[in-house]
Amino acid sequence: MHKVLVVDDETYVRKGLLELVEWNEMKLTIVGEARNGKEALGLIEELKPDLVITDIRMPAIDGLELIRLVNEAGRYKPLFIIISGYHDFNYARQALRYGVRDYILKPIDEEELASTLRKLSLGMAAQAARGLAEDGQLKSLMLEALAQGTSDDEEAERYAAALGIQEGTSLLYIIAEVYAPPQDESITNKTFLEAWGSIDINRALLASGESSPGQFALLLQTPRLCNEESVFQQKLEQIRMTLSRRLSAEVGIYCGDPVYQPIHIRDACLAANEAARHKYAEQGVIRYAGVSGKPLYVFDISPDLSGKLILQVEEGDREGFTATTEHIFGLFREQRFSPQAVAGSLSRCLAGIVGAVNEMNGNPDCLVSLRELSQGITRANWSLDLLKRHFIGALTEADDCIAILRKESSNGGIKAIKSYIDLHYSQNISLKSIASQFYMNAVYLGRLFRKTYGVYFNDYLLEIRMKEAKRLLRQTDLRMYEIAARVGFQNADYFATQFEKLDKLTPSEYRNSLSGKD
C-alpha cells in the first residue's frame, strides 16, 4: 500500500477526500492530515508518505511554498497532487515546474480524482519496482511471474513498466541450456550473464533468470522488423555460437514465438519449453514454430535391443556395445525420442548392467560413472552427443569392472565348476544352468572352460557321462533306460545315439563285446 498525506485548511475538504474514493482498491492508504504547509512539513518528515495531496492557498505555509521547501531539503521527495481553484491556475502552473505530478480543480470531481489516483498508484508501483529491478534477482522474479502467469493484469502492467517493456516491440522468451554433465557446476547465472554481455544485442535483454540448473530464461525486446524469418534465425544462431564460445561449452537455444503483449509472455514460455522437449530430435537453435505439430516418440527402445547391449557388456564385447550404442542413439534422433523416452531407455540398460554385476557377486560401487549417469540422466543438461559420450564411458567402466570380476572368479572358480560337473553329471545340467549357478555369463564360462581344460564344456560333460555309463555296462545288469537316467539322460534312445557317436558301438554292442571276451 502507498501512503498518502492530505493537506488542506478546510476540514470538510479533508474529510470529503476520505469518503470520495475507494482508497484501498487503488492500493492507497491515508496516513495523516495537515491543516497547512507547516504541519505538513513535520508529517512528511515523520510519516514518509509516497503521495501528498495539497491545496495551494493555505495560511502559514501555502502549498506552493511547501512543495518548494520539500524539494530544496532533498531528504525525502514524495509525489505531489495540488488542489486548485480556477483563480489559482497561475500558481498551479508554477507548482508543475517543481515536478508536481497532477492537479485537480475545485470543486473536486469524483471520477477525475479516482482516475488521477489510479494512474499515480500504478506509476508509483512501477517506479518502485524499476528501482528495485536494478537488482537482477528481482528482475528474475518478475520474469518468472510473467512467464508462469501468476500475476494479474494490473501486476503484469507494473512488471512490464518496471522491466522497460515498450509498446510496438516484439517480446522473445528464450531458454538457453548449457550442456554439461551433472557434476559440472561451473556455469552459474553470473558466468552466464558475463558471457551474454559480449553479444552485440545484449541491450535487448530485459530480464534473465536461472530457471533450473544450467538452464537460463531470457526475455528479449526487439523491433518487430527483426521478426523477418532469415534475420530472426540468423540472430538466434549468432547468440548460440557466441555463448558456446564464451562458456567453452555447447549451448542449446529454445525459443517460443514472438509475442507483443506482456500478458502473453506465459504463452511464449510454454512454447519455448515445448521446443526444449525436441532437444534430442533437433540440434542448435530450436524454435517452436519449427517443431510445432511434429510428434515425439514416448516409449522405450525394444527389450531385444537393450538386452543385446547388456549381453555385449557382460561378454566384454567393447566393439559390439559401442556399435549398438551408436545405433540406439541414431534411433533417438531419427525417431524423435522425447527426453523422457531417452532417459527411460538408457536407465533400463544401466539397471541391467548393475544386475549383471550383482549376479557375479560384484560390488556395484565400482561403477562410479554408471551410478552418476543413472542419477543425473533426468537432471543434467545433456545434448545427445554429450549423453552418448558419457553413456559409452559408463559402459566401458562397467566392462572393466566385469573383466576384473571374471579374472577373480576364474582363478578359483573354474576349478569349483569342474568339481561341480564331476559330482552332478547325473543331473539335468547344462552350460547355461551352471553359469547361472555360479553367477557367470554362459558364453564367457564356455570360453574359460575350454581355455583352462582344452576341451569344450559339452564334450567334457559327455565324456564323463559315457565313462560312467561304460562302468555301469561292465559292472551291472541294469537296463539301458536305467543306465541312461543314471548318467543324466532323460531319453534312452538319445543316450544310445550319443554313446555310439563317441565309441562307434551301441551300448548293447559294447556290453556284448565284453561278454565275448569272457
Amino acid 133: pLDDT: 41
Amino acid 39: pLDDT: 92
Q: Of the given ranges (108-117, 220-229, 367-376, 418-427), which has the lowest mean pLDDT?
A: 220-229
- Asked if 178 and 195 count as a contact pair (C-beta separation under 8 A), the reply is no
Alpha-carbon span 198 to 178, nearest angstrom: 16
Q: Is residue 297 part of a domain?
A: no
Domain extent at residue 455: 411-517
Amino acid 71: pLDDT: 85
pLDDT of 293 > 80? The answer is yes
Alpha-carbon span 312 to 322, nearest angstrom: 9
Sheet hosting strand 79-84, strand order edge to edge: 28-34, 2-7, 51-55, 79-84, 102-105
pLDDT in tens, 106-159: 788 888 888 888 888 877 766 654 544 445 566 777 888 888 888 777 778 888
Among 372, 392, 407, give the residue marking a domain's end.
407
Amino acid 199: pLDDT: 72
pLDDT in tens, 385-396: 999 999 999 999
Q: Percentage of the chain with pLDDT > 70?
A: 90
CATH of the domain at 147: 3.30.70.270
**H or E stretch covering 84:** strand 79-84
| Together in a domain, 329 and 399 | yes
pTM: 0.58
Of residues 399 and 364, the one with the higher pLDDT is 399
Alpha-carbon span 246 to 9, nearest angstrom: 65
CATH of the domain at 121: 3.40.50.2300
Q: Is residue 18 part of a domain?
A: yes
| Together in a domain, 6 and 72 | yes
Q: Percentage of the chain with pLDDT > 90?
A: 41
| Together in a domain, 286 and 418 | no
pLDDT in tens, 163-181: 888 887 888 999 999 998 8
Residues 175-189, mean pLDDT to the nearest whole number: 81
pLDDT of 91 > 80? The answer is no
CATH of the domain at 482: 1.10.10.60
pLDDT in tens, 47-75: 989 899 998 888 888 888 898 898 888 77
Q: Which of 33, 381, 317, 427 is nearest to 179 (CA)?
A: 381
| Together in a domain, 276 and 143 | yes
And the C-alpha cell for 483? 543306465
pLDDT of 372 > 60? The answer is yes
Amino acid 6: pLDDT: 94
Amino acid 139: pLDDT: 74
Amino acid 63: pLDDT: 86
Residues 433-462, mean pLDDT to the nearest whole number: 88
Position 411 confidence tier, pLDDT thresholds 50, 70, 90 = low
Number of domain units in the chain: 4
Chain-wide mean pLDDT for the chain?
Answer: 85
Amino acid 118: pLDDT: 86
Position 208 confidence tier, pLDDT thresholds 50, 70, 90 = confident
Which residue type, as a one-letter code, is found at position 192? F
Alpha-carbon span 327 to 282, nearest angstrom: 17
Q: Are strands 2-7 and 28-34 parallel, antiparallel or unpaired?
A: parallel
